[in-house]
Amino acid sequence: MNIKELREKATKRYENGESPKEIYQSLGKGKSWFFKWLKRYKLDGKDWAKSHSRKPHQSPKRIDKIMEQTVIETRKRLEKKLYAQTGALTISYAFRKKELIHLLL
């Protein structure tokens, strides 16, 4: 029996009048597990037993596409040089160096 079927079985047993404590103890689960899935069963639609992603909706550290392309292009340019380092520190240095050149022009 997979986890989705276990969740569905627990809610059906609850609907049939069995006590929550008997259900979650017989299934080897905790009180919070049972009531979490019971709440989702009552509130959500037909896919209530499906697991939700834990991935955040937005990543605060994610860079925008333009900056990502700039990093990739800089790394490719550095890779063409003999014995050049291509790590994050070198790319950061190349950015600062490029900004100084723009300020001088």
**Domain coordinates in residue numbering, the chain:** 3-43, 65-104
Q: Write the DSSP assignment of the chain as a string of letters.
A: --HHHHHHHHHHHHHTT--HHHHHHHTT--HHHHHHHHHHHHHS-TTTTSPPP-S-SS-TTPPPHHHHHHHHHHHHHHHTSTT---SHHHHHHHHHHHHHHHHH-
The share of the chain scoring above pLDDT 70, in percent, equals: 93
Q: With 50 as the cut, is the pLDDT of residue 10 above it? A: yes
Report the mean per-residue pLDDT for the chain.
Answer: 86
- Entry pTM: 0.53
pLDDT-based confidence at 99, cuts 50/70/90? Answer: low
The model's pLDDT over 56-85, given as tens digits with 9 standing for 90+, comes to: 888 888 888 888 898 898 899 889 988 888
